[in-house]
Amino acid sequence: IYFLQDQFDLQGDPVDIEKAMNTKFGRRLSNHTYRLHKQFMELKEAKGEEYARNHPPKNVDPTKWIDLIDKKWNTKEFLVTFSSFLLN
């Protein structure tokens, strides 16, 4: 964050600036993760989970792809939340 603040003339309270930047970056990360999950689910549905695991999108490191699948999307907590989201 400080690297970005050095590149731009950001005016205002530094705490407010940092909060705004963190919010923006958090939303961008969330949107990116959502799109990746959607791609994973579409590929999984079309060709199976094993194929989806072994064919990450071009812009995603294979190790990070597997980590997202194993440590986020296949966790019990995520599956419960995602299932309840689908039911609504």
DSSP symbols for 21-57: HHHHHHHHHHHHHHHHHHHHHHHHHHH-HHHHHT---
Percent of the chain with pLDDT over 70: 84
pLDDT over 80 at 62, yes or no? yes
**pLDDT number for residue 45:** 96
Q: Give residue 66's pLDDT band: very low, low, confident or very high (50, 70, 90).
A: very high
Mean pLDDT computed over 42-62: 96
Round to whole Å and give the CA distance between 64 and 50. Answer: 16
Radius of gyration of the chain (CA): 17
* Nearest of 56, 75, 76 to residue 66 by alpha carbon: 56
